[in-house]
Structure 1
Amino acid sequence: MAGKRAAKRDGEQAAGEAVVLPPDCRMATLAALHTELVAALPGGAVELDGSQVERVDTAALQLLVLLRRALDGRGGALAWRGSSAALNDAAGLLGLAKILELPAARPA
């Protein structure tokens, strides 16, 4: 299952609602997550919750970087509600933590 978000009539993210990244955030789940992130773009600001991510691969991090660049190009903003240690570690290893502006992982 990819990210979770309630359906909106025009596909935009509601204020105060975050796109929740799935615990297994790897290539197999990215098609659905990509669709959800693209639908959130028109709102100008996207909030992600990565606190439940247990497994993440390079493809998922690339998708998040592309989201960041798309938002920057539109004058939008990316915010985080939370980030897991697994997500922070993977982004740190690839040198993407600063680009993604990940928050510190919350203790379990």
Structure 2
Amino acid sequence: MAGKQAARRNGERQADAPATVVLPPDCRMAAQAALQAQLVAALPGGAVVLDGSRVERVDTAALQLLVLLRRALDGRGGTLAWHGASEALNDAAGLLGLATILELPAVGPA
């Protein structure tokens, strides 16, 4: 019990809580190193929630990272969920035929 309380105080997430990764507004090549580090750190928990609601610009490299995350989670029996996905993210994934594999939520009315 004391270990769990210490972990919470130190900002660590509990093993059963999903890791949340907020995608940056500019999700292109310059942000890839930081995004990759966040995604790799989220993998061990097995449950990842992505928040793509703020994404304004996205490139193929970022979408490839997200597909790799999806496949890695599938291979570990993990789960991927979305807290939101912007129109830009949905459009780019749709254009490349990746919206289904990423299980992106539909963009609702503004």
TM-score class, shorter: 0.7 to 0.9
Residue 107 of structure 1: how far off its partner (Å): 3.5
TM-score, length basis structure 2: 0.83
Task: Structure 1: give runs of 5+ residues left out of the alignment.
Answer: 1-6
Alpha-carbon displacement from aligned partner over 1:44-77 (angstroms, at most 9, x marks no partner):
0100000000000000000000000000000001
Higher radius of gyration, 1 or 2: 2
Tell me: CA distance 1:35–1:81, structure 2 relative to 1, closer, same or farther (3 Å): same
Unpaired segments of 5 or more residues in structure 2?
Answer: 1-9
Provide runs of 4+ in structure 1 moved above 4 Å.
Answer: 11-14
Q: How high is the TM-score relative to the length of structure 1? A: 0.85
The one-letter code matched in structure 1 to 2:91 is D
- Structure in which a larger fraction of residues adopt helix: 2
Over the matched positions of the two proteins, sequence identity in percent amounts to: 76
**What is the CA distance between 1:105 and its match in structure 2?**
1.6
Work out the number of aligned pairs and report it.
101
